[in-house]
Amino acid sequence: MDFANLSAQLNAGAILPEGIVIITLLVTLVWDLIVGRSSTKVTPYVAIVGLLIATGTLFLQWDTTEPISFLGSFNGDAISLIFRGIIAISAAVTIPISIRYVEQSGTSLAEFITILLTATVGGMFLSGADELVMIFVSLETLSISSYLLTGYMKRDPRSNEAALKYLLIGAASSAIFLYGISLLYGLSGGETRLSAITASIISNGLDESLGLVIALVFVIAGIAFKIAAVPFHQWTPDVYEGSPTPVVAFLSVGSKAAGFALAVRLLVSAFPLVSDQWRFVLTALAILSMVLGNVVALAQTSMKRLLAYSSIAQAGFLMIGLIVGTDAGYSSMVFYLMIYLFMNLGGFACVILFTLRTGTDEINEYSGLYQKDPLLTLALSICLLSLGGIPPLAGFFGKIYLFWAGWQAGAYGLVLIGLITSVISIYYYIRVVKTMVVKEPQEMSEAVANYPEIQWNLTGMRPLQVSIVVALVFTSLAGVLANPLFNLATGSVSKTPMLQATEPMTPVVSQAPEQLPMPTVESVDL
């Protein structure tokens, strides 16, 4: 294969968005090297612009006819475009909320942004990776940069500790994931492309082997770690509490979206032979995540830990869409992720702002905030209520669509548990809102009583304000004006060959356990 021939076959245009992010990353790094510490006035904005351009190019590729590139390493189909967009936007929102935070903690901003952009690149490649080696390398790019971000505040023992725990648990889980992948490579007799694996497993006559089930279990352990599903959630509260809050914001949205993208692609295209088993395992994980996440969140006193458990529970809700496996299921999952992006990042932006002004993140300290800072109270309340699923807000419509898709597909038990646990979740979200709004002036906490004068003209405060307002507007309006997002979500599913082709292969319910109703093929007609 000569060079001209090869470069024609690569179809390198499909990774243009990632290329743009990598160029942005290098520009940030080199600019910081040349200019020195004063580069912080420019670099964050360069990074945001780069990420937005990358998102724009993702839109241009919406109607692409040749998604496969790099000889099968990468598949830029519609569902990957959506996930890559979610990850890029979550990074683009994380950067403005981190400027002030990083400045105030006295660490260097340029390296922070570079590492964050690498994590973004890793996540974006992971969403489209169509081949085992590519999956592994991009997963590790995402994970290693996340460990670094977690430990970025290196003088703070809590940040160190969070990074160490995250690294050890993360590296172990990726090693276990990799063991599963190696079994997959063996069972398929030496295939690494996801699309070829199933066919060769069948032709080798290993479609009902114990090996495939073990590979599946190991792979699910790796994925569940990434999306923080119970019982692989142990790291989440610690890492969320210990690491810098902007990093948590990115981990809870970007990294989680990448995990879901990986789950969809790997489970649907490499494990259709054991789809009953993986749906069963995921159902168990989803129920555990919803119940445990929401119940433990009730007892939390720290806002970051509360959001950590809430994100575990949200992962449980999202898994409903993946489990039912219908078109509506997938698109409701994508739709909910898009809404979750803004409401969760908005919530974290508010927590960061409060932390910067008062230096605490205990829930009690929020009492009486309404009298001192109405904008912050409003934004945080809207985001939390939306996470809880209160009607006119975006989160409500996302949840309704998810539950509706689950109900249509016959997953009644799952949907009922989802409904009950979301009612529980409303309690702890409302509790925070009540603390902020209802208290009398004399009940005001010390932190709020000493609340500093609101100044937006400090370095990095303006971007924080802008992102809070954007998240606020989006969260309150996205539910009512959901149509474009909705079309995007359904379009991404219906345009993806992988999700369409495997639909008829999904075996019918009969073997599934009784108490866990599984989707039937008839329910697809939406």
Partner 1 sequence: MELQYFLLLAAALFCIGIYGLVTSRNAIRVLMSIELLLNAVTLNLMAFSNYLDPMVIRGQVFTVFVITIAAAESAVGLAIVLSIYRNRDTVDMEQFNLLKW
Partner 2 sequence: MNLAEGVQIVSLGVLAFLMLATSLGVVLLDNIVYSAFLLGGVFISISGLYILLNAGFVAAAQILIYVGAVNVLILFGIMLVNKRQDFTPVRNAWLGKAATAIVCFGLFALLSTMVLATAWPISSGPIAGDAALVEIGKHFFSDYLLPFELASVLLLMALIGAIVLARREFLPEEMVDSTDEVLTLPERRRELTSTPRQ
For residue 118, the partner it binds in partner 1, partner 2, none, with Cβ less than 5 to 8 A by kind, is: partner 2
Both structure tokens of 402: 């998810």
CB hemisphere CA count around 271 (13 angstroms): 28
The Cα 341–Cα 467 span in angstroms is: 12
- Min. distance of Cβ 152 from partner 2 in angstroms? 7
Name 424's Cβ contacts closer than 8 Å, sequence gap at least 6: 294, 295, 298
Binder among 28, 98, 141, 408 for partner 2 (CB under 8 A): 141
- Strand-pairing partners, residue 129, are 74
Binder among 64, 360, 494, 502 for partner 2 (CB under 8 A): 360
CA-based torsion, 444, 447, 453, 455: positive or negative: negative
The Cα 28–Cα 90 span in angstroms is: 18
- Among the residue ranges 144-152, 228-236, 409-417, 464-472, the one whose residues contact partner 2 (CB under 8 A): 144-152
Judged by CB under 8 A, does residue 298 bind partner 1? Answer: no
Question: Which residues, numbered 220-259, are part of the site for partner 2 (CB under 8 A)?
Answer: 244-245
DSSP 400-435: HHHHHHHHHTT-HHHHHHHHHHHHHHHHHHHHHHHH
- Min. distance of Cβ 439 from partner 1 in angstroms? 28
Binder among 27, 31, 42, 156 for partner 2 (CB under 8 A): 156
- From residue 165 to residue 194, the character string flagging contacts with partner 1 as x (rule: CB under 8 A) and all else as - is x-xx--xx--xx-xx--xx-xx--xxxx--
Select from 92, 89, 88, 111 the least CA-distant residue to 40: 111
Select from 472, 308, 301, 462 the least CA-distant residue to 374: 472
Both structure tokens of 44: 């964050």
- Min. distance of Cβ 520 from partner 2 in angstroms? 32
Question: SS3 letters for 294-315?
Answer: HHHHCCCCEHHHHHHHHHHHHH
For residue 356, the partner it binds in partner 2, partner 1, none, with Cβ less than 5 to 8 A by kind, is: partner 2
Q: Which residues contribute to the site for partner 1 (CB under 8 A)? A: 132-133, 136-137, 140, 144, 147-148, 151, 154-158, 160-165, 167-168, 171-172, 175-176, 178-179, 182-183, 185-186, 189-192, 234, 237-238, 241-242
Q: Which residues contribute to the site for partner 2 (CB under 8 A)? A: 1, 6, 10, 15, 22, 25, 29, 69-74, 101, 104-108, 111, 114-115, 118, 121-122, 125, 131, 133-134, 136-138, 140-141, 144-145, 148, 151-159, 163, 186-187, 189-190, 204-206, 209-211, 214, 244-245, 304, 355-356, 359-361
